[in-house]
């Protein structure tokens, strides 16, 4: 029987609903274990769900502790020994009456450390320490075949949780991407090819692979570069892998013929159908918004649009987007010299 057949699989919205229900009724909450491939968004979903309800979250990594670290250190007082729990555990006076204790990467902890957490997870206590009543326990980890540093979860520990597996969900990622202003090119690509959102294979030689996390890294690459060019796709490949970056590059080329128009301006002048020219204007604006062409490139394309009114309309749209910086571009003076005579109001701006 496969791993997927032993526990239910949820997408991101379904997991978010489960987390909301868990956090809303901590007295009835069952400790939850979230399984999933690396970079799929397990940790982010837990943090976002806690933040949405205004709850404090303490991320306790058992893999970084020794067994005695969790129980605390023994203190001798009046002929008896008292255990002082670690400061990382939730304290109602300091951290609030309600919150989330997040045991991320729990199965990366060596078995003796994991065993020391049995009482905390099931009984919500460690010796004399008691987890505040309003706090929920959530854990997360990679599966054994995910090439992470993981140990098989002992049955006594596994039986202290309810278990779900998180699967990649393109629709949920696109909703998240829109809220976080992820590059339009990446959003368009995943919308058209959701199969590229997450592709993890356990082969040890594969280091970079597509996942919700690595696409977010690709967005950072795009954001820090002026243009999306061959170098950009090379850097994106370092995040999501060569196959995914190649598919993205091919999609970008198929989606927008702007690069061909820049290489051979005559091809744009040959577009005479008015509807096709309107599409060309939209393509030029999209390419500029996706950082695939410069502002000067967009102006050079405006020079070669066949319809004077559409050419002027593109200039106005560019001005709305970038402001008076438009007038400092060399190609703007060229546009005024070539096309501006049709629109006298544009003339004085050439010297601005």
Q: Are residues 17 and 154 in the same domain?
A: yes
Burial of 133: CB neighbours in 10 Å, binned 0-12, 13-18, 19+:
exposed
- What's the pLDDT tens digit per position in 87-112? 788 999 999 999 999 998 888 877 77
For residues 153 and 144, give the distance between their C-alpha atoms in angstroms, rounded to a whole number. 9
What is the mean predicted confidence (pLDDT) over 317-342? 86
CATH number at residue 99: 3.40.50.300
Q: Are residues 262 and 243 in the same domain?
A: no
- What's the pLDDT tens digit per position in 256-282? 678 778 778 778 888 888 888 888 888
Q: Are residues 8 and 136 in the same domain?
A: yes
Q: Are residues 281 and 311 in the same domain?
A: yes
Q: Are residues 209 and 299 in the same domain?
A: no
Report the SS3 class of residue 1.
coil
CB atoms inside a 10 Å sphere around CB 283:
16
At CA 153, angle to CA 152 and CA 158, rounded to 5? Answer: 155
Residue of 313 and 253 predicted with greater confidence: 313
Specify which residues 75 forms β-bridges with: 82
Torsions phi, psi of 80, nearest 5?
Answer: -125, 165
Q: Are residues 94 and 229 in the same domain?
A: no
Confidence (pLDDT) at 137? 93
Among residues 131, 166, 201, the one where a domain terminates is: 166
Q: Are residues 29 and 161 in the same domain?
A: yes
Is the confidence at residue 207, as pLDDT, over 90?
Answer: no
Hey, what's the torsion of the CAs at 181, 182, 183, 184, to 10 degrees? Answer: -70
Question: What pLDDT band is residue 160 in, cutting at 50, 70 and 90?
Answer: confident
Q: Are residues 24 and 81 in the same domain?
A: yes
Confidence (pLDDT) at 184? 87
Confidence (pLDDT) at 40? 85
Torsions phi, psi of 75, nearest 5?
Answer: -120, 130
Range scoring the smallest mean pLDDT among 47-51, 239-243, 296-300: 296-300
Is the confidence at residue 3, as pLDDT, over 60?
Answer: no
Show the domain range for 268.
258-351
Confidence (pLDDT) at 348? 44
Q: Are residues 72 and 198 in the same domain?
A: no
E strands, the chain, are 9-10, 32-35, 56-59, 73-77, 80-84, 98-104, 125-126, 129-130, 134-141, 162-166
Cβ(139)–Cβ(103) under 8 Å?
A: yes
Among residues 166, 189, 206, the one where a domain terminates is: 166
The model scores a pTM over 0.75: no
Q: Which residue's structure tokens are 């709305």?
A: 320
Number of domains in the chain: 3
Q: Are residues 125 and 186 in the same domain?
A: no
What is the mean predicted confidence (pLDDT) over 181-206? 85
- For the chain, the residue count is 352
């Amino acid at each position: 029987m496969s791993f997927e057949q032993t526990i239910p699989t949820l997408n991101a919205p379904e997991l978010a609903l489960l987390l909301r229900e868990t956090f809303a009724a901590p007295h009835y909450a069952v400790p939850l274990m979230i399984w999933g491939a690396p970079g799929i968004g397990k940790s982010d979903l837990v943090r976002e769900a806690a933040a949405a309800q205004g709850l404090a979250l303490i991320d306790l990594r058992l893999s970084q502790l020794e067994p005695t670290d969790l129980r605390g250190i023994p203190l001798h007082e009046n002929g008896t020994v008292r255990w002082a729990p670690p400061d990382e555990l939730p304290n109602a006076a300091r951290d609030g009456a309600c919150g989330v204790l997040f045991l991320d990467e729990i199965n990366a902890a060596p078995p003796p450390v994991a065993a020391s957490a049995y009482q905390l997870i099931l009984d919500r206590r460690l010796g004399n320490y008691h987890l505040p009543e309003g706090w929920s326990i959530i854990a997360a980890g990679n599966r054994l075949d995910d090439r992470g540093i993981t140990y098989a979860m002992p049955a006594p520990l596994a039986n202290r949780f309810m278990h779900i597996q998180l699967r990649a969900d393109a629709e949920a990622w696109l909703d998240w991407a829109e809220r976080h202003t992820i590059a339009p090119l990446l959003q368009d690509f995943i919308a058209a090819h959701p199969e590229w959102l997450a592709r993890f294979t356990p082969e040890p030689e594969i280091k970079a692979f597509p996942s919700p996390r690595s696409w977010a890294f690709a967005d950072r690459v795009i954001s820090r570069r002026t243009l999306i060019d061959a170098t950009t796709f090379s850097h994106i490949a370092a995040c999501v892998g060569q196959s995914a970056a190649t598919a993205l590059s091919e999609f970008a080329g198929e989606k927008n013929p702007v690069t061909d128009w820049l290489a051979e301006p005559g091809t744009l002048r040959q577009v005479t159908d008015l509807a096709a020219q309107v599409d060309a204007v939209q393509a030029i604006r999209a390419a500029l918004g996706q950082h695939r062409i410069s502002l000067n490139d967009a102006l050079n394309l405006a020079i070669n649009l066949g319809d004077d009114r559409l050419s002027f309309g593109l200039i106005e749209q560019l001005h709305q987007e970038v402001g008076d910086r438009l007038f400092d571009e060399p190609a703007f003076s060229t546009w005024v010299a070539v096309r501006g005579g049709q629109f006298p109001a544009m003339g004085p701006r050439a010297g601005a």
